[in-house]
Chains A and B, each alone.
Chain A
Amino acid sequence: MTFNKILVANRGEIALRVIRTCREMGIKTVALYSDADMDSLPVKQADEAMHIGPALSRKSYLNQDAVIAAARETGADAVHPGYGFLSESASFAQACHDNGIIFIGPSSRTIARAGDKSAARQILINMGIPVIPGSDDVIATPEAASDAAEQVGYPVILKAAGGGGGRGMRIARNQKDLLGAFSVASAEAGAAFGNPALYLEKYIEKPRHIEIQILGDHFGNYVHLGERECSIQMRYQKLIEEAPSSFVDETLREQLGSTAIRIAKAFDYTNAGTMEFLVDKDKNFYFMEVNARVQVEHPVTELVTGLDIVRKQIDIAAGNELGLAQADILLNGWAMECRINASDPTDNFMPSPGEITSVILPGGPGVRLDTHIHDRYMVTPFYDSLIGKLCVWAPDRFQSVRRMKRALDEFEITGIATTIDFYKKVFENKQFQDGNIDTHFLEQMDNL
């Protein structure tokens, strides 16, 4: 079985990504747009488009009632939420269900259970899955944070209870830092997820961020699609991802993969999801969180597995069997992704909204570019700074690095500051080329 029409409840590159697969599957699409996105590519590429509200996210893409109304009015039988916005909203998934619309993602109950990080943590501790020491509950006040920090020991990290992606995250190395960081982290969390609650955990120095992509259907079948190495981050925002990881051998991959599937089963997880781990230098791993959605960096996994993850999401949501066993998942070659952001690396990665006057896109063998930008595209300050994802595939890591350097050299965006030139420097760095990285790599790069 499949769907007749899918409403894409998102914008930018991920809306375009979903529309592309729908078109290839012969499924009609509905794009939504705010005042700021009226002339966007997803609106052009979709079969239909509906206005959803003003530019501010909470009045448009986060407005659940408006999204549900649009789905009903257009007769969509399913909603794909992309990432961010309503993708990890249990109440939205429930509202879809209550209106007879299929939410392409895990059930409302699974999102709620996996998203309640303190409860999720306890479930996994009880299963013997290693987690990072931290507060058992949401931290309501700076004073409570201070007490929790004394228990686990500094340094500590504050994280948003309502979602991931680095919003609302702050590290504190002492009590003074912690008290100062609390209100800013809480405000960021509130703005990004509509939930200002924070939790706190011990901060592990020099870790790698390694995550496992899983797929699960409604018949209890699960597979993992191997790992993604996401250690190249700036302020907890991933910038470069790759698959596989040069740090993960077959043994660790099997351990991480089977752990990820155990976690998925514990939450009755269906559809595509990601289990994030921190891995220390001795290959001890700690579960961090479940990302109950398709992720920004999913293309690197697609490139090494040959699978279309969005297509799998749609098939699973439509009630089809996974049709894959673990033995079918073969990792082939090496894929890398650079997130092209509208931010200025020469000015502390300050956001750089503005008009793109012209753009020259990279291409050629082994290059995949997911982007919604074009000449005269206006990058507004209302949404996140991701304007494109430049991915490459090659038979091995060495050639993948070479290919990314070549593609970055071809890529020109004028009118706004972007991260392109910064990535050229990263890809010239010897330590990076050797795969000798951790989550602090970028902070220390100038000294390497």
Chain B
Amino acid sequence: MNKTIHTVTSPVMGTFYRSSAPDAPPLVEPGQTVKPEDIVCMIESMKIFTEIRCGRAGVVKKILVENEEPVMKNQALLEITLGEK
């Protein structure tokens, strides 16, 4: 086993959202398997929503930010445990 952690970061200062719409379920939950192209969260900055993609394949280990919390540019948002190499 050679596991490493991939950290998903915010490209911009803004507000963190776990779902794509106010009444929608969270995009991902801890323990969920994700593919690189999967959208894992949204960041709203200056009224623009940006879909944040996972970037790597693996399993969601931890969501580091609470829903609707402010985040800084480059702040870590989620940790992804990468699959076995």
Contact = CB atoms under 8 A, between A and B. Distances in A.
Most buried by A among B22, B46, B51: B46
B13 A381 contact: yes
Contact of A351 (B14, B51, B70): B14
A196 interface: yes
Contacts of A353: 12-14, 45-46
A38 B42 CA distance: 28
A196 B47 CA distance: 14
Contacts of B14: 351, 353, 381
Contacts, number: 62
Interface string A358-388: 0000000000000000000000011111000
B1 interface: no
Nearest to B68: A56
A168 B24 CA distance: 17
Contact of B20 (A167, A184, A385): A184
Contacts of B15: 56, 381-382
Interface in A308-363: 342-343, 350-354
Most buried by B among A188, A343, A354: A188
B11 A350 contact: yes
Contacts of B50: 350
Nearest to B15: A381
Interface string A298-316: 0000000000000000000
A56 B24 CA distance: 20
A394 interface: no
Contacts of A191: 44, 47, 49
Interface in B55-76: 70
Contact of A381 (B11, B24, B70): B70
A79 interface: no
B41 to A, nearest CB: 12
Contacts of A118: none
Contacts of B22: 187, 190, 196
Contacts of A382: 15, 46
Contacts of B48: 188, 351, 385
Contact of B12 (A167, A192, A351): A351
A183 B24 contact: yes
Nearest to B14: A381
Contact of A342 (B21, B46, B51): B46
Given A184-B49, A184-B51, A381 B12 contact: yes
Contacts of A352: 12
B49 A354 contact: no
A196 B15 CA distance: 19
Contact of A187 (B11, B12, B21, B45): B21
A186 interface: yes
A343 B48 CA distance: 11
A116 to B, nearest CB: 22
Interface string B8-37: 000111110000111010000000000000
B46 A383 contact: yes
Given A196-B21, A381-B70, A188 B49 contact: yes
A192 B47 CA distance: 7
Interface string A233-254: 0000000000000000000000
Interface of B: 11-15, 20-22, 24, 42, 44-51, 70
Given A191-B44, A353-B46, 5 more contacts: A56-B15, A350-B12, A351-B46, A353-B14, A381-B12
30 contacts: A167-B47, A183-B21, A183-B24, A184-B20, A184-B51, A187-B21, A187-B49, A188-B48, A188-B49, A191-B44, A191-B49, A192-B47, A196-B21, A342-B46, A350-B11, A350-B12, A351-B48, A352-B12, A353-B13, A353-B14, A353-B45, A381-B14, A381-B15, A381-B44, A381-B46, A381-B70, A382-B15, A383-B47, A384-B46, A384-B47
A-B residue pairs, 9 tightest by C-beta? A351-B46, A351-B45, A385-B46, A381-B45, A187-B21, A381-B14, A353-B13, A381-B13, A384-B47
